[in-house]
């Protein structure tokens, strides 16, 4: 397949390296002309994924429209807060994309102003194309290395999803598929909230017992939130639920976990976000706290994370509040 990936941060670049390894024609289109020229000359994404050379047959596109002319698949790798603006830019460059058959997104999170998920945004902004989401427990650097990894493709068009599953799998990456697009997306954004909590455990110096208890109850809470928001329970026990939760709560490369760790060590959220870093769980916490109140969904862990991030509650007090909750049976 001829694949265009836009924009090309760490995850988009890593996916491009994987697809190149299994024989696809790949064009990477960075967000700015300056980034494109630097990548083309250095043959490396020095800004977002340093240390990984781009093979000579990976093309770097300076402009979006020419890069879409031969593309059969477009992969959008923007943070969720910028996905709509990226779609709008893509829409203005599609007039010559005569071979384009499907659009996938790697975004994980909710649009802050509308609370919409990435697939909803694709459906609104690029309705003429089949669309889906790729999600799961993967760090970009390890996909770039070719470490054995797995993702799930959420797509309502089952026949097209099966074709894409076969096309994108190979080498060090195995793709599963499901029609539960909403469940895949909810798992991919909710796990970021609980990764912040896991980081807070690390920042407090808590050990294995504490982390195990947190992850178990966080998964239970994810299932309750996910079902209350339209996802299927079984999806949250898969790659985009438990798998991504396990990775982001334990991995040293997790931005959300390291953010929570820094907060527990005394840094303020505003201070940590001042450099423009993307911490999807920060925005997701605020959005889902509001949704839980609207829908009457009990989510005590999320509520305490919200109190720390947005109400200046000390992390230790939030942990103590969770430990002092009324006793109940395990599955309640």
Beta pairing partners, 60? 28
What burial letters (b/e) apply to 266-295, b meaning 16+ CB within 10 Å? eeebeebeeeeebbbbbbbbbbbbebbeee
User: What global pTM score does this model have?
Assistant: 0.94
pLDDT of residue 197: 98
Listed residue (114, 116, 107, 120) closest to 80, CA to CA:
107
Three-class DSSP labels, 50-68: EEEECCCCCEECCCHHHHH
Query: Domains in the chain, ordered, with CATH?
Result: 2-179 (3.40.50.720), 182-323 (1.10.1040.10)
Beta pairing partners, 174? 150
pLDDT of residue 332: 66
Structure tokens at 85: 């603006």
Instruction: Judge contact between 12 and 5, C-beta under 8 A.
Output: yes
Length of the chain: 332
pLDDT of residue 10: 96
CA end-to-end distance (rounded Å), the chain: 48
Active site residues: 191
pLDDT of residue 39: 97
Instruction: Judge contact between 318 and 304, C-beta under 8 A.
Output: yes
What are the residue ranges in the chain where pLDDT is below 70? Answer: 332
Distance in angstroms (rounded) separating the CA atoms of residues 318 and 130: 44
């Amino acid at each position: 397949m001829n694949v265009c990936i836009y924009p090309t941060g760490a995850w988009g670049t890593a996916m491009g390296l994987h697809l190149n390894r299994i024989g696809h024609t790949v064009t990477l289109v960075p967000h700015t002309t300056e980034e494109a020229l630097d990548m083309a000359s250095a043959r490396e994404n020095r800004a977002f994924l340093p240390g990984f050379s781009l093979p000579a047959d990976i093309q770097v596109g300076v402009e979006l429209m020419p890069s879409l002319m031969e593309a059969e698949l477009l992969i959008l790798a923007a943070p969720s807060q910028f996905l709509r603006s990226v779609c709008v830019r893509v829409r203005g460059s599609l007039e010559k994309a005569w071979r384009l058959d499907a659009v996938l997104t790697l975004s994980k999170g909710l649009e802050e102003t509308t609370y919409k998920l990435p697939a909803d945004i694709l459906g609104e902004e690029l309705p003429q194309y089949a669309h889906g989401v790729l999600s799961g427990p993967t760090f970009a650097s390890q996909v770039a290395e070719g470490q054995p990894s797995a993702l799930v493709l959420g797509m309502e068009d089952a026949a097209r999803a099966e074709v894409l599953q076969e096309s994108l799998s190979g080498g060090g990456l195995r793709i599963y598929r499901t029609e539960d697009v909403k469940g895949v997306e909810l798992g991919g954004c909710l796990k970021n909230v609980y990764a912040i909590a896991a980081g807070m455990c690390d920042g407090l110096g808590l050990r294995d017992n504490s982390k195990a208890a947190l992850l178990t109850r966080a998964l239970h809470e994810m299932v309750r939130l996910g079902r209350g928001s339209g996802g299927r329970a079984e999806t949250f026990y898969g790659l985009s639920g438990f798998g991504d939760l396990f990775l982001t709560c334990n991995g040293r490369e997790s931005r959300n976990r390291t953010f929570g760790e820094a907060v527990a060590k005394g840094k303020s959220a505003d201070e940590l976000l001042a450099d423009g870093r993307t911490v999807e769980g920060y925005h997701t916490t605020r959005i889902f706290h509001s949704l839980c109140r609207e829908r009457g969904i009990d989510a005590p862990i999320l509520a305490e994370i919200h109190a720390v991030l947005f109400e200046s509650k000390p992390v230790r007090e939030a942990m103590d509040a969770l430990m002092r909750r009324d006793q109940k049976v395990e599955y309640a």
